[in-house]
Chain A
Amino acid sequence: MADLRSPRFWVPAAVLAFLALLPAYSALVGQSFYVTLFTRILVYALAALALNFVLGFGGLVSFGHALYMGLGAYAVGILSFHGVTNGWVHLAAALIVGGVFATLVGAVVVRTGGMTFIMITLAFAQMGYFLAVSLKQYGGDDGLTIDARSQLGIVDLGSNTVLYYAVLACLVACLWLFNRMLGARFGYVLRGSKSNERRMLALGFPTFRYKLSAYVMSAMVCTLAGFFLANFTKFASPSYMQWSVSGELIVIIVLGGMGTLFGPVIGAIVLLLLEEVLQGYRPGLFPPLEEVVNKHWQVVIGLFVILVVLFAKRGLYGFIVERRE
């Protein structure tokens, strides 16, 4: 079924191979920094992949998925704070809390559509943010330091490399899962309700249930990303739920290619590398300008986002794939 020469096959294959070999390369050149940088990238890729499932395929433009990353992070943080170090408990708590929250929030938001949907998801995420800020016993505004990473039995997340491969494994598993779901009846109904919901209803599909299930699944994968984020930084902070994080996830999706399965992974790599480069890179060609860019790199990101929206709507992966076909 896979055509080896199709970019739909070799681009993801090449990128995943690169990601799988990265820790080896990093150990070879003695730069452990690459592993931590790419762990962060993979966590964002996982969250963006989840968001793209509802945004790109279901047409539900959620501007509040950072909420679920934050919930996942706080599940780890609060349990560790109370002395629970078992990683499976952390993981189960994160997924259950994320699932319950997403069901409640989803039951309200999925009924609406268009602009209202965008604004309400944003408002709910903001609610979570203020909730986290007001939890004074768990650090409030300053966030919550986590003493040690979750203990997952033989999977020792204490090692950066193991954590990296754990996130990568989850990313690959989710790629496979979403790929299967999109090819199944569920995925077709979801995509159908994006392109013409009225017709799907007329055909007798209860689209609300499909959209709500997709929303909950997507949210739960985001809480998984939050679980990893908290383990990676050993910190749970309200800023994980900040609305700019939700915005960043959408930027990643659009940059990589909305409505393509693999686009978010490429988008995450490109955007986060760009941020990293802008903050620290100094080629020394024109030092005064470089200093300003390093300090005010968000101007460049902002302009970059505007340009991508105006002129490059298909995204990078969309561009590579469509040009060849």
Chain B
Amino acid sequence: MTWGLFLTQVLNGLQLGVLLFLLAAGLTLVFGIMNFVNLAHGSLYMMGAYFAAAAYAATGSFLAAAAIAVAATMILGLVIERVALMRLYARDHLDQVLATFGLILVFNEVVRYIWGPSSIYMNAPEALSGQVTLFGLNYPSYRFAIIGVGLAVAGGLYLVINRTRLGMLIRAGASNAEMVSALGVDIRFLNTMVFAMGAGLAGLAGLMAGPILSVQPGMGEPVLILTLVVIVTGGIGSVRGAFYGALIVGLVDTVGRAFLPIVLQLTIERSIAQAAGPAIASMLIYLLMAVVLAVRPAGLFPVRHG
């Protein structure tokens, strides 16, 4: 085990973390304001990836593909919010979960119908296809770009939420939506804006994941479940919690998968370690979540109400 390898895995973990943050931010904000969970958020991510792959193939320009993918996912998010999800805000969680579960089935099949059941591939843009050398370590520059974009979005969100009037309303909505509404703010409109923003971020995440993962039907579900782990660990409704939660989950998952089997081999018998290592590594983040919830049921960074 060398430091270079370790650093590479940490960077990979960071990269998964920022992708998860892009998804978790939108999901957790809508939950904070409308007490609504949208399982179809993973489908928006998938649609973003497909839009990006299709636009990239059609235009040949990654930037144009990025703009088209984010805008298209945002519009799609607006449409499903207005047509279907809006009716569910007053319903209980069970109805919300079921209806958005239905949406996932629909989206997966629509994608299968349009683009076929097998995965499609998308290349990283020309300018970012090389490697960057950092402290004598080679790392793909596209993955660096993902980390950079993710951190930039996190910084931008921080500024919007803490320094602007819109952000003030979002924070107020998360701590008491009814009171904000009573003070004359159109909370439905605010929520639609937040939803569209979340959809755009999901589209961005899909776009960026496109070149490093395969774009295929159902690609949203594993990511959605990691995102749920992130927001439950971080504290539902809190963007700060989503950020730290995403980084923790990304790092623990990636570094755990890479090194836990090796570490186990040093301590217990080789054959057992080889069998148990990957199994335990794949469960690590869920164990982490269970421990966090057992100690702090509201998550690590809960929203302060009242």
Chain A residues packing against B (C-beta within 8 Å): 55, 61, 63, 108, 111-112, 114-116, 118-120, 122-124, 126-127, 130-131, 133-137, 243-244, 247, 250-251, 254, 258, 292, 296, 298-299, 301-306, 308-310, 313
Contacts and interface: CB of A to CB of B under 8 A. Distances in A.
A258 B98 CA distance: 13
A127 B294 CA distance: 17
A292 B112 CA distance: 11
Nearest to B289: A123
A306 B100 CA distance: 8
Interface in B4-41: 31, 35, 37
A123 B95 contact: no
B231 to A, nearest CB: 8
Given A108-B294, A123-B289, A309 B99 contact: yes
Contacts of B112: 296
Contacts of A304: 102
A114 to B, nearest CB: 6
Contact of B106 (A120, A133, A302): A302
Contact of B232 (A120, A134, A296): A120
Contact of A116 (B97, B110, B293): B293
Interface stretch (B179-187, B262-270, B276-284): B276-284
Interface in B204-234: 221, 225, 228-229, 231-232
Given A299-B106, A299-B109, A305-B101, A116 B297 contact: yes
B94 interface: yes
B137 interface: no
Given A108-B294, A126-B225, A254-B94, A299 B105 contact: yes
A296 B225 contact: no
Given A118-B97, A310-B87, A134 B106 contact: no
Contacts of B104: 302
Given A243-B225, A313-B95, A127 B286 contact: yes
A251 B95 CA distance: 10
A61 B97 contact: yes
Nearest to B290: A108
Q: Kindly name the residue among B84, B91, B225 whose own CB sees the greatest number of chain A CB atoms within 10 A.
A: B225
B99 A306 contact: yes
A292 B110 CA distance: 11
A131 B283 contact: yes
A136 B108 CA distance: 28
A239 to B, nearest CB: 12
Contacts of A251: 98, 101
Given A116-B293, A131-B279, A299-B106, A292 B101 contact: no
A302 B98 contact: no
Contacts of A123: 225, 228-229, 232, 286, 289
B113 interface: yes
B127 interface: no
A120 B289 contact: yes
B71 interface: no
B305 to A, nearest CB: 14
B93 interface: yes
Contacts of A309: 88, 91, 95, 98-99, 102
5 contacts: A119-B228, A120-B289, A123-B228, A124-B290, A302-B103
Nearest to B287: A127
B275 interface: yes
A111 B293 CA distance: 9
A302 to B, nearest CB: 3
Contact of B98 (A112, A114, A250): A250
Given A119-B232, A126-B225, A303 B102 contact: yes
Contacts of A306: 84, 99, 102-103, 106
Contacts of A308: 98
B201 interface: no
A127 B91 CA distance: 29
Interface in B103-138: 103-106, 108-110, 112-113
A310 B99 contact: yes
B236 interface: yes
Contact of B286 (A126, A134, A301): A126
Contact of A118 (B37, B88, B289): B37
Nearest to B36: A115
Nearest to B274: A136
Given A118-B37, A123-B225, A130-B282, A250 B102 contact: no
B283 A127 contact: yes
Contacts of B110: 299
Given A133-B282, A306-B84, A306-B102, A122 B113 contact: no
Contact of B225 (A61, A116, A122, A247): A122
A298 B108 contact: yes
Contact of A115 (B93, B275, B287): B93
Given A61-B97, A127-B282, A309-B102, 14 more contacts: A55-B94, A111-B297, A112-B293, A116-B232, A119-B228, A119-B229, A247-B101, A250-B94, A251-B101, A254-B94, A299-B109, A305-B101, A309-B88, A309-B91
